[in-house]
């Protein structure tokens, strides 16, 4: 363990020799950079040591392929995981900058949109903490998810140039650059034995240059890496194009190559059908496979043992091209027979499905495929042909069955169905909560279950308690550790030990104090960002996640309007003062979601300025939701909003983070809410609304009639106010469209759930007033959150799908 | 592009003195190879100095292979660096022409 003086000296060295500063007047950013560089050497030692250990043990490795890794800040996480946070605090005292300010100076690495990207990041943390040989492969986007500003209530997107001034966390390895072919055409020929030989000619070349980010497991014994690829044009390419004499064209072609890794596509749960996105997906897959093979070939002569030493998990269908790329590599480059190649491919690959929403399923026009990846298209068509034969044998003459299963969707424009490709090419297909995995088997993948009954399983999502409790909520963490010891940090099930203290007055008081302090911290941030005063005594009612109609921020907002009207029109006083917090980004092209942001801000402005309301109700939309902001918001919550229409949210992970931090959930029986309820008990969660079978029935029968709910005067009043311009006096019809979307053909059944939601919210507010009761329930929620650690999730994946083991000294 | 020719029995070993064979030099390569293909029936192309071949370079070699085959000759390759070999494998060109590890293996391949 490093001593404060040693760390101080290292930091001083970095200040001088890496930053070129004397150290007399450091900014928080200087100090952040210097601390990061100082510990980076240890991280490199750790990474290399870990790699040697895996090599000596001939470990089977897991490669987690994802187009998104929503990492957030790394310094605090690394200091905590190395257990040197306090040592560092002491070390930096003489520099005249607070450690907290230095930690705040780090930009979030926002290489992801939301849950899927954050899951990948939590998984890497757990893999390392469990000592498992698991590595992330992704794209080194120059621009991460856009920064969100709010201008006149509207979202405005700004570029997120997160590593504009470099990042201390990435170690480039140009010597391990790989080349990636793209475009071109197939030339049909015969090989030396007279067999058909499709030659992929005239491709363009991209170079993928890797940079590694260390992933520190708790305790520092295992340090894995996340390998991110940047796209470059090849040096030779550059020189020769320049030599050809057209300088401007040369620059244009160079820029065009490097565009591939320029920016993360900012859509969450909706497909972006652009060519650049397809190229990004192939770029990741091609770079990853070359590197995985390079590692494998350091110890193996041939590929007969490939599946014994390599496992790959596809995070959604974004890396599903790996099915075709593996086949292409084995057949074209290694001259394997089809069946042998297919056996290895399936044995290696696993696929995680994250959504059943049709608009989120990737389907690429065949014409685009032909243009960008002609050889892969050939291979996919061959995979499909063989699969269709097998399907026909299973259900002879059932053309509808074949049509549903086919990797190719027929129609005016044929499309390649990536989910079907991923399912067919994997030995394991999992959903991310019990409910979702069941729905996956009974809806989207029902026909595949007929074909491959043993392939489907569930792996309920999880979150890392190290970032989401230890780091984000030091007060609560300290209390827990002082009470039951530190075991929970690496074994979250140990939190059950808190159940002994549910009724312990001293523990309750300390628990409440921790929550209160977190609320004060958030209140301060709200004041800084929004100039709104909120009282930490109020019920902090929080909904923070991507903006999407299925997540129903609108339902929450309608409830707020209801509360507002009871105050200003009915003259009532709210039993429980409430602060409602929203945060989240809308995809830039998602007009409806952006309009909801505007409505939230308009409602907030009206309510917060209305003297009749006073401190009873405050509404805040905090801009630029990201991991570092979540770490401030979530620990402050009393009530966690998880109110998606039943059957839409595959799992959720925000729900788990809130539970871990002692918030009570108000939610539908959707996604992992179902399992949270199973763990905490009916009386410790607020469940409302339609359940999945009811939603499905109403969908099938088309029996939902929003107008019938206007018989409830509360509801008719709310809708009239929204449509009538109360929250947009200068543009009275501004929110008419939102009103109309709720009243006509609303696929998310807002009004059907509204009555139940209002009642349940009232119940929650009443219970909040009983401080002892609320505290007990909060403690129970924390105590019973063990299942939702990503350590548990990863252990399940490792045992059931990847068959990898921990390697700890 | 400089090429040297060394006669070893029936086989002409052509050494390509360049580190890349790509779009900028592929036409020149074909032009240099044209008289050699006419003069020599059996050509072993020593690619040892090349560190990069792109699809234009592959196309040029393919064109030479076909020209050679059309006059009853043959073209083989030897001494490919790993990344260069990878290009041939991606294009599946290693299935239509012999690619040997060393010059010796290449000469032996002609005598079979």
Contact residues on chain B for A243, CB-CB shorter than 8 A: 24
Q: Do B94 and B53 meet the contact criterion of CB atoms below 8 Å apart?
A: no
Half-sphere exposure of B49 (CA within 13 A, CB side): 13
**Token pair 């060393």 is at which residue?**
B102
Nearest 5°: phi and psi at A578? -135, 140
Cross-strand bridge partners of residue A139? A229
Separation between Cα atoms, residue A283 and residue A179, nearest integer Å: 9
Separation between Cα atoms, residue A153 and residue A163, nearest integer Å: 29
State the alpha helices, DSSP H only, in A452-552: 465, 474-484, 505-530
pLDDT recorded at residue A241:
54
Per-residue pLDDT tens over the stretch A437-485: 999 999 999 999 999 999 999 999 999 999 999 999 999 999 999 999 9
Nearest 5°: phi and psi at A238? -55, -50
Query: How many domains does chain B fold into?
Result: 1
**Token pair 């523990």 is at which residue?**
A507
Contact residues on chain A for B29, CB-CB shorter than 8 A: none
Ranges of residues in chain B whose predicted pLDDT is under 70: none
Separation between Cα atoms, residue A247 and residue A249, nearest integer Å: 5
Q: Is A335 on the interface with B (CB under 8 A)?
A: yes
- Tell me A455's DSSP state: S
Q: Is B56 on the interface with A (CB under 8 A)?
A: yes
Write the CA distances from A151 to A156, A557, A592, integer angstroms: 7, 20, 17
Helix, strand, coil percentages for chain A (3-state, nearest 5)? 55, 15, 30
Q: Do A616 and A575 meet the contact criterion of CB atoms below 8 Å apart?
A: no
pLDDT recorded at residue A341:
98
pLDDT recorded at residue A447:
97
Q: Could you say which of B22, B56, B93 has the minimum Cβ distance to residue A199?
A: B93
- B10 within a domain of the structure (yes/no): yes
Q: Could you say which of B24, B62, B92 has the minimum Cβ distance to residue A200?
A: B92
B63 to chain A, closest Cα gap in Å? 12
**Is the CB of A205 less than 8 angstroms away from the CB of B56?**
no
pLDDT recorded at residue B24:
84
pLDDT recorded at residue A502:
96
Answer yes or no: is pLDDT of A246 > 80. Answer: no
pLDDT recorded at residue A237:
53
Nearest 5°: phi and psi at A154? -100, 150
Q: Is A504 on the interface with B (CB under 8 A)?
A: no
- B20 within a domain of the structure (yes/no): yes
pLDDT recorded at residue A233:
82
Q: Which two tokens stand for residue A442?
A: 């009974």
Mutation choice for A interface testing from B23, B56, B85, B90 by most A CBs within 10 A: B90
Q: How far apart are the first and last CA of chain B?
A: 31
B4 to chain A, closest Cα gap in Å? 23
- ipTM, interface predicted TM-score of the complex: 0.92
Q: Do B77 and B49 meet the contact criterion of CB atoms below 8 Å apart?
A: no
- B57 within a domain of the structure (yes/no): yes
pLDDT recorded at residue A399:
96
pLDDT band at A352 (very low <50, low <70, confident <90, very high): very high
Percent of chain A with pLDDT over 90: 92
Catalytic residue flag (residue A354): yes
Q: How far apart are the first and last CA of chain A?
A: 16
What chain A holds in terms of domains, given with CATH numbers, is: 465-788 (3.40.50.2000)
Note down the domain range covering B55: 2-103
If you write DSSP's letter for every residue of A366-393 in order, what string do you get? HHHHHHH-HHHHHHHHHHHHHHHHHHHH
Separation between Cα atoms, residue A342 and residue A421, nearest integer Å: 13
pLDDT recorded at residue A383:
98
pLDDT recorded at residue A245:
59
Average pLDDT on A678-685 reads: 98
- CA nearest neighbour of A75 among A50, A107, A51: A107
Per-residue pLDDT tens over the stretch A404-414: 999 999 999 99
Average pLDDT on A713-737 reads: 95
pLDDT band at A267 (very low <50, low <70, confident <90, very high): confident
Catalytic residue flag (residue A595): no
Separation between Cα atoms, residue A703 and residue A12, nearest integer Å: 70
Separation between Cα atoms, residue A587 and residue A264, nearest integer Å: 12
Percent of chain B with pLDDT over 90: 84
Per-residue pLDDT tens over the stretch A27-77: 999 999 999 999 999 999 999 999 999 999 999 999 999 999 999 999 999
- CA nearest neighbour of A807 among A239, A169, A130, A43: A130
Average pLDDT on A191-213 reads: 94
Q: Is B63 on the interface with A (CB under 8 A)?
A: no
Nearest CA in chain B to A188: B92
- In this prediction the pTM is 0.96
Mean pLDDT lowest among A235-239, A285-289, A390-394: A235-239
Answer yes or no: is pLDDT of A240 > 70. Answer: no
- B65 within a domain of the structure (yes/no): yes
Separation between Cα atoms, residue A208 and residue A176, nearest integer Å: 9
Q: Mark A400-413 as b/e (b = at least 16 C-beta within 10 Å).
A: ebbebbbbbbeeee
B85 to chain A, closest Cα gap in Å? 10
Element spanning A754, H or E? helix A750-768
Average pLDDT on A530-546 reads: 98
Average pLDDT on A648-654 reads: 97
Q: Do A706 and A743 meet the contact criterion of CB atoms below 8 Å apart?
A: yes
Q: Do A180 and A287 meet the contact criterion of CB atoms below 8 Å apart?
A: yes
- B72 within a domain of the structure (yes/no): yes
**Token pair 């921020």 is at which residue?**
A553
Per-residue pLDDT tens over the stretch A595-636: 999 999 999 999 999 999 999 999 999 999 999 999 999 999
**Is the CB of B92 less than 8 angstroms away from the CB of A184?**
no
- B112 within a domain of the structure (yes/no): no
Q: Which two tokens stand for residue A747?
A: 């696929």
**Is the CB of B96 less than 8 angstroms away from the CB of A184?**
no
- B108 within a domain of the structure (yes/no): no
* CATH number for the domain that contains residue B44: 3.30.750.24
Mean pLDDT lowest among A77-81, A270-274, A607-611, A694-698: A270-274
Q: Which two tokens stand for residue A173?
A: 């390895």
Percent of chain A with pLDDT over 70: 98
The dihedral over CA atoms of A385, A390, A394, A395, expressed in degrees to the nearest 10, equals 10
pLDDT recorded at residue A242:
56
Answer yes or no: is pLDDT of A306 > 70. Answer: yes
- Tell me A747's DSSP state: T
Catalytic residue flag (residue A546): yes
């Amino acid at each position: 363990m490093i001593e404060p003086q040693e760390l101080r000296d290292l930091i001083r060295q970095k200040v001088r020799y890496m930053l070129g500063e004397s150290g007399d007047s450091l900014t928080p950013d200087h100090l952040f950079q210097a601390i990061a560089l100082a510990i980076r050497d240890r991280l490199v030692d750790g990474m290399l040591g870990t790699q040697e250990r895996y090599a000596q043990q001939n470990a089977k490795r897991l490669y987690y392929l994802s187009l998104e890794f929503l990492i957030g800040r790394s310094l605090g996480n690394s200091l905590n995981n190395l257990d040197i946070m306090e040592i560092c605090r002491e070390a930096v005292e003489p520099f005249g900058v607070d450690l907290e300010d230095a930690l705040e100076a780090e930009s979030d690495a926002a290489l992801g949109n939301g849950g899927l990207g954050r899951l990948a990041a939590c998984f890497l943390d757990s893999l390392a903490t469990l000592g498992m040989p698991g590595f992330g492969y992704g794209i080194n986007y120059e621009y991460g998810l856009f920064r969100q500003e709010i201008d006149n209530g509207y979202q405005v997107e700004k570029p997120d140039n997160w590593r504009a001034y470099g990042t201390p966390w990435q170690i480039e390895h140009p010597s391990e650059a790989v080349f990636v072919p793209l475009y071109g055409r197939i030339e049909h020929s015969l090989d030396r034995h007279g067999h058909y030989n499709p030659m992929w000619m005239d491709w363009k070349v991209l170079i993928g240059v890797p940079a590694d980010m260390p992933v520190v497991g708790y305790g520092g014994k295992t340090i894995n890496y996340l390998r991110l690829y940047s796209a470059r044009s090849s040096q030779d390419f550059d020189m020769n194009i320049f030599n050809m004499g057209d300088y401007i064209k040369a620059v244009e072609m160079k820029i065009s190559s490097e565009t591939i890794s320029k920016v993360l596509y900012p859509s969450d749960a909706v497909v972006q059908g652009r060519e650049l996105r397809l190229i990004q997906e192939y770029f990741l897959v091609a770079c990853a496979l070359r590197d995985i093979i390079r590692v494998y070939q350091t110890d193996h002569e041939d590929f007969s043992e490939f599946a014994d030493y390599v496992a790959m998990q596809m995070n959604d269908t974004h890396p599903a091209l790996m099915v075709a790329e593996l086949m292409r590599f084995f057949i074209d480059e290694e001259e394997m027979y089809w069946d042998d190649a297919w056996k290895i491919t399936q044995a290696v690959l696993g696929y995680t499905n994250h959504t059943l929403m049709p608009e989120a399923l990737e389907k690429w026009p065949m014409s685009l495929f032909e243009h960008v990846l002609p050889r892969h298209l050939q291979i996919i068509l061959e995979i499909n042909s063989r699969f269709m034969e097998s399907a026909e044998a299973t259900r002879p003459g059932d053309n509808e069955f074949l049509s549903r299963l086919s990797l190719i969707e027929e129609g005016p424009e044929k499309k390649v169905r990536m989910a079907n490709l991923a399912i067919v090419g994997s030995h394991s297909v999992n959903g991310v909560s019990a409910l979702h995995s069941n729905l996956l088997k009974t809806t989207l993948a029902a026909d595949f279950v007929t074909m491959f009954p043993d392939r489907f399983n569930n792996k309920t999502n999880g979150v890392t308690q190290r970032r989401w409790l230890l780091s984000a909520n030091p007060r609560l963490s300290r209390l827990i550790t002082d009470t039951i010891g530190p075991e929970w940090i690496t074994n979250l099930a140990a939190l059950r030990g808190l159940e002994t203290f549910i009724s312990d007055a001293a523990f309750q008081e300390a628990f409440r104090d921790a929550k209160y302090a977190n609320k004060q911290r958030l209140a301060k941030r709200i004041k800084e960002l929004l100039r709104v005063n909120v009282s930490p005594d109020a019920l902090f009612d929080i909904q923070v996640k991507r903006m999407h109609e299925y997540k129903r921020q609108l339902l929450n907002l309608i409830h707020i309007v209801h509360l507002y009207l009871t105050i200003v029109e009915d003259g009532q006083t709210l039993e429980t003062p409430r602060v409602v917090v929203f945060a989240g980004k809308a995809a830039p092209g998602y007009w409806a979601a952006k309009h909801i942001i505007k409505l939230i801000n308009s409602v907030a402005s009206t309510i917060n300025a209305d003297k009749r309301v006073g401190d009873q109700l405050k509404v805040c939309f905090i801009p630029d939701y990201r991991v570092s902001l979540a770490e401030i918001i979530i620990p402050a919550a009393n009530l966690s909003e998880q109110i998606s229409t039943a059957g839409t949210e595959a799992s959720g992970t925000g729900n788990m983070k809130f539970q871990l931090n002692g918030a009570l959930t108000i939610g539908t029986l959707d996604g992992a809410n179902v399992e949270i309820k199973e763990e905490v008990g009916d009386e410790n969660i607020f469940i409302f609304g339609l359940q999945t079978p009811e939603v499905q029935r109403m969908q099938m029968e088309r029996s939902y009639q929003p107008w019938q709910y206007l018989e409830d005067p509360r509801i008719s009043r709310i809708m009239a106010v929204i449509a009538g311009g109360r929250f947009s006096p200068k543009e009275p019809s501004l929110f008419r469209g939102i009103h109309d979307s709720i009243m006509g053909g609303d696929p998310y059944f807002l009004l059907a759930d509204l009555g139940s939601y209002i009642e349940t919210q009232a119940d929650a507010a009443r219970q909040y007033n009983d401080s002892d009761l609320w505290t007990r329930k909060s403690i129970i929620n924390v105590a019973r959150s063990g299942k939702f650690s990503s350590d548990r999730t990863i252990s399940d994946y490792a045992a059931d799908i990847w068959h990898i083991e921990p390697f700890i000294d | 592009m400089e090429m040297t020719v060394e006669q070893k029995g029936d086989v002409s070993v052509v050494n390509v003195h360049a580190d890349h064979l790509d779009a900028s030099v592929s036409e020149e390569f074909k032009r240099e190879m044209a008289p050699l293909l006419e003069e020599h029936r059996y050509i072993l192309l020593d690619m040892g100095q090349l560190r990069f071949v792109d699809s234009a370079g592959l196309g040029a070699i393919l064109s030479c292979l076909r020209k050679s085959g059309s006059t009853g000759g043959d073209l083989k390759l030897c001494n490919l660096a790993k990344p260069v070999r990878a290009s041939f494998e991606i294009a599946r060109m290693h299935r239509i022409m012999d690619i040997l590890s060393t010059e010796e293996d290449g000469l032996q391949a002609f005598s079979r």
